[in-house]
Structure 1
Amino acid sequence: MGEAIELSDVYAFGAILLEVVCGRRLWTKNGIYKSLVDWVWAWNRTERLFEAVDNRLEEDYIVEEAQRVLLLGLACSDPTASERPKTQEIV
């Protein structure tokens, strides 16, 4: 609706988390996906979320931590604003 509210801040936080772990910009088109969020959701649906991690990291990261951050990013970027976690839950 174009209004800045707490839930839009949560969405932005989730988007930043995804950008950092994936090494891609939010609005970079990834194949058939219009945004990074859609692309990461697709990897999550196929249970291959680790495929979204930035290739430049090679294997220099802890898989469980990367997955935790990606899942948090997805939760914060839920298309339904009321389904996004509250700030207290994120912390």
Structure 2
Amino acid sequence: MDINVLRQIAVVLGAVAFIAICWWAFSPKRKKRFEEDAQLPFADEEQSRRAAYKADGKDIEDESAAGGGQEHPPSAEQNKGQDKQ
């Protein structure tokens, strides 16, 4: 077999593989799964925030029900003056 024939076969197989992967990635039945997977980093952030509040002895739901709580933990800028007191 000539080397050019092997290269042509490799190009055709590569193109077929590329098209198959694109079809798999953009098929409508996988859209919901990919959207859920895209939200995973944010779910982890929410879980970390809840753990931090519980470590401080606070409960996010109790604060929001009371109406006086903050949605997010105070930032370093907000706590800057409190350390000196």
Q: TM-score, normalising length from structure 2? A: 0.32
Greater length-normalized contact order (CA 8 Å, ≥ 6 residues apart)? 1
Larger radius of gyration between Structure 1 and Structure 2:
2
Query: Comparing both structures, which one devotes a greater share of its residues to helix?
Result: 2
Q: TM-score, normalising length from structure 1? A: 0.31
